[in-house]
């Protein structure tokens, strides 16, 4: 009898344990789907399946849009705050989430973008597990917007940072062009490799900047890039292009690797000699002077090889022979192409001919 009672108690205990575990797992994965049936307001419970706004450490919000059943986009309005486990955007083909200025979105897990999902952040997002963009999704951190957490872009997803990213930016395997705008700042690592394409017009600091593989980086004249650590690399067949500004300004790559003065970021970049370096002069305004001096890097290994590998282009024409390199500075003359001179001469000739014709007509008029 005692054995039977013991077995019964043991069986009940096991069943109860399984029930508790299942309940716990379900609580950890409570799924709240957006239906947008009333409005675009995240805080309105009627817009969510089951009439419950996602909140707490166990809820996952699925932001979706694109069918007649989901008519409205999703907006976290100014002054609103949402805290939950995870957020999926584009979970069913599409979805559009906007975090307005003054709004805050907190996730204990990650934010996942998929399919054609779109995230526009004008407020503050605290993503403990980071933000992962995949598919053909897009992420836009607007001027004034803040993302606290790592950001990764895969597939053909596209990221534009005009605000602040406090975390690492990993382009992963995305083949779309990513952009850090003139008002954008990344405080963390930025690694560009494989077939990644990144345009930088803003600031990168507080971490490692590394370009390798077949990664391509376009550096606008307003860029301020400061790399920290020994792995400040420009290597393999990386493709780096500097666009010179109208005033002759250039975005200089700086590193603290082996810097002579702490905090000066005047160190040397590691360089294998095979990276492709191009300087584009098309936007330079020659009224600022025909001679221009450019410091592209704070310093670099294999300096002689580097200086010989840099190509200077003016309206598609290679003008590298017009530039010399000394003590880290390229100096050269930016002059119009022969074709431009011919065009100017032709224009002047046309003006002269028209002037002569006007004079002849004037003299032929009866007085």
pLDDT number for residue 216:
94
Judge contact between 281 and 319, C-beta under 8 A: yes
What average pLDDT does the segment 266-283 reach? Answer: 94
DSSP assignment of 150-206? -EEE-TT-EEEESSEEES-EE-TT--SEEEE-TT-EEES-EEE-TT-EEEESSEEEE
Does 240 score more than 90 pLDDT? yes
Confidence grade of residue 8 (pLDDT, cut at 50, 70, 90): low
Joined tokens for residue 152: 């990764």
pTM, rounded to two decimals: 0.84
pLDDT in tens, 246-259: 999 999 999 999 99
The whole-angstrom separation of Cα 95 and Cα 137 is 9
What average pLDDT does the segment 68-72 reach? Answer: 74
Sheet with 158-161: list strands edge to edge.
74-76, 96-99, 118-121, 138-141, 158-161, 177-180, 197-200, 216-219, 239-243, 276-280, 310-314, 317-318
pLDDT in tens, 134-160: 999 999 999 999 999 999 999 999 999
pLDDT in tens, 38-66: 999 999 999 999 999 999 989 999 998 75
pLDDT number for residue 65:
78
The whole-angstrom separation of Cα 112 and Cα 134 is 8
The whole-angstrom separation of Cα 25 and Cα 71 is 32
pLDDT in tens, 328-364: 999 999 986 554 444 444 444 554 555 555 555 555 5
pLDDT number for residue 46:
96
Q: What is the SS3 assignment for 50?
A: helix
Phi, psi for residue 349 in degrees, rounded to 5: -65, -40
Q: Percent of the chain at pLDDT above 70?
A: 82
Indicate the DSSP class of residue 68. Answer: T
The whole-angstrom separation of Cα 226 and Cα 127 is 25
pLDDT number for residue 93:
79
The whole-angstrom separation of Cα 47 and Cα 275 is 52
Confidence grade of residue 286 (pLDDT, cut at 50, 70, 90): very high
What average pLDDT does the segment 263-271 reach? Answer: 96
pLDDT number for residue 16:
47
């Amino acid at each position: 009898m005692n054995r039977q009672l013991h077995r019964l108690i043991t069986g009940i205990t096991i069943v109860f344990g399984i029930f508790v575990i299942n309940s716990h797992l379900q609580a950890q994965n409570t799924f709240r789907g957006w239906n947008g049936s009333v409005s675009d307001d995240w805080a309105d419970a009627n817009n969510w399946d089951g009439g419950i706004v996602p909140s707490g450490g166990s809820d996952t919000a699925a932001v979706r849009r694109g069918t007649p059943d989901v008519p409205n986009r999703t907006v976290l309005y100014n002054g609103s705050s949402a805290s939950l486990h995870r957020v999926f955007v584009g979970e069913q083909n599409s979805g559009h989430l906007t975090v307005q200025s003054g709004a805050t979105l907190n996730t204990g897990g990650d934010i996942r973008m998929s399919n054609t999902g779109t995230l526009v952040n004008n407020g503050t997002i605290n993503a403990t597990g980071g933000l992962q963009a995949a598919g053909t999704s897009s992420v836009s951190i607007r001027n004034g917007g803040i993302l606290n957490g790592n950001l990764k872009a895969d597939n053909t997803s596209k990221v534009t940072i005009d605000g602040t990213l406090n975390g690492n930016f990993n382009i992963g395997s995305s083949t779309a062009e990513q952009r850090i705008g003139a008002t954008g700042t990344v405080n963390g690592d930025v690694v560009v490799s494989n077939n990644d394409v990144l345009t930088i017009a803003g600031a990168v600091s507080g971490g490692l900047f590394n370009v390798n593989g077949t990664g391509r980086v376009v550096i606008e004249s307003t860029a301020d890039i400061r790399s920290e650590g020994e792995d400040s690399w420009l290597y393999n067949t990386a493709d780096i292009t500097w666009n010179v500004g109208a005033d002759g300004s250039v975005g200089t790559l700086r590193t603290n690797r082996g810097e002579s003065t702490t905090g000066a970021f005047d160190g040397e970049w590691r360089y294998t000699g095979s990276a492709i370096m191009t300087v584009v002069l098309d936007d330079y305004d020659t009224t600022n002077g025909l001679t221009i001096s450019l410091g592209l890097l704070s310093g670099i290994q294999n300096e002689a090889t580097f200086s010989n590998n840099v190509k200077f282009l003016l309206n598609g024409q290679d003008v590298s022979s017009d530039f010399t390199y000394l003590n880290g500075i390229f100096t050269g003359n930016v002059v119009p192409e022969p074709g431009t001179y011919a065009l100017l001469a032709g224009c002047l000739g046309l003006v002269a001919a028209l002037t002569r014709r006007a004079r002849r007509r004037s003299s032929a008029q009866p007085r």
